[in-house]
Amino acid sequence: MWTVISGGVGNFTRGTEGSLIFDSATNRLIVGGATRVNLEGEINPTGGTNTAAFFSAYTTDGNRLLTQILGAAGYDTNGIGARVDGTGNIYVGGSTFGSLDGQTINSASRQLFVTKYNSGGTKQWTRARNPGGRLHRRYRAGGGYRR
């Protein structure tokens, strides 16, 4: 049995629901989420003032294999989930207000993104798109949600 604690002082690192997955192709555990700190020697590209998406891969004995952080300086990038395909490629999805990897983004509204990493953790591509309006719902006075 083992436990791994990762994060930093003065801010947060959090996993997302359902983002701890077992990769049977490579016998690894993958966890994804959001952070405002540097993790495991990887630099948060937002400078720690905004949220960045991340994933980490571990052996089944709890040894960290790799960590990757994805974000845009000055903007929030929220990792919502990570998945693995049958050959060990890792996909991280979420939302961002900033431009990622050359994808031009309208920072006035939140954009959806997905980034693919190969099984060794090397980034392959990022795709982003504007879903056509605000991505989140806001609670309005008097009850109910609105987009």
Closest CA to 49 of 35, 65, 59: 35
108 or 144: which carries more pLDDT confidence?
108
Q: What is the average pLDDT across 115-125?
A: 94
pLDDT at 131 over 50: yes
Give, as one character, the DSSP assignment of residue 99.
-
State residue 118 phi and psi, 5-degree precision: -75, 180
A 10 A CB-CB count for 21 gives 17
Q: What is the average pLDDT across 48-57?
A: 87
Question: Do residues 112 and 88 touch, judged by C-beta distance below 8 A?
Answer: no
Q: What is the average pLDDT across 55-79?
A: 89
Q: What is the DSSP string of 78-102?
A: EEEEEEE-TTS-EEEEEEESS-BTT
How many Cα atoms within 13 Å fall on the side-chain side of residue 51? Answer: 16
Per-residue model confidence as pLDDT tens digits over 5-47: 766 666 777 776 667 888 888 899 998 888 888 888 888 888 7
- pLDDT recorded at residue 142: 43
Residue 4 tokens, joined: 């791994």
Q: How far apart are CA 117 and CA 115, in angstroms?
A: 7
